[in-house]
Amino acid sequence: MEIWINPACSKCRSAISLLDAEGADYTVRRYLEDVPGEDEIRAVLDRLGLEPWDITRTQEAAAKELGLKEWARNETARDRWITALAEHPRLIQRPIITADDGTAIVARSSEAVEEALARSKS
């Protein structure tokens, strides 16, 4: 499994601690440095079963500068949102764990991390 993190994020650090405590086999991706491209973001959204606006941190300065709260949230606007996430990775909600079963989860709680672990074990 892979976990997308920002090391400055307390939720990311908590998720890593839980993974370590379980002896999980995972790869860390510092997505602010190793920025996912648009195709990769689309793939993760498919795995999450979410839309780009569902994983966008709308309180970030870049979101306010872009006026994201005013953007349409529909199929027509989807690519625009994905482009914004690729160009401004700080907008991506974190941490995101891609499980070995092909799914992914936004792991902001210990329960979500445990779910990702369970998915990777099955």
Alpha-helical (H) ranges within 1-122 are 10-21, 38-48, 61-66, 78-87, 110-121
Would you call the peptide bond into 89 cis, given omega within 30 degrees of 0 as the criterion? no
12 is catalytic: no
- Please tell me the distance from the alpha carbon of residue 55 to that of residue 92, in angstroms, as a whole number: 6
β partners of residue 4: 29, 96
Query: What does DSSP assign to residue 118?
Result: H
Active site residue: 2, 3, 9, 114, which one?
9
C-alpha to C-alpha distance for 107 and 10, rounded to whole angstroms: 12
Q: Active-site residues: which are they?
A: 9
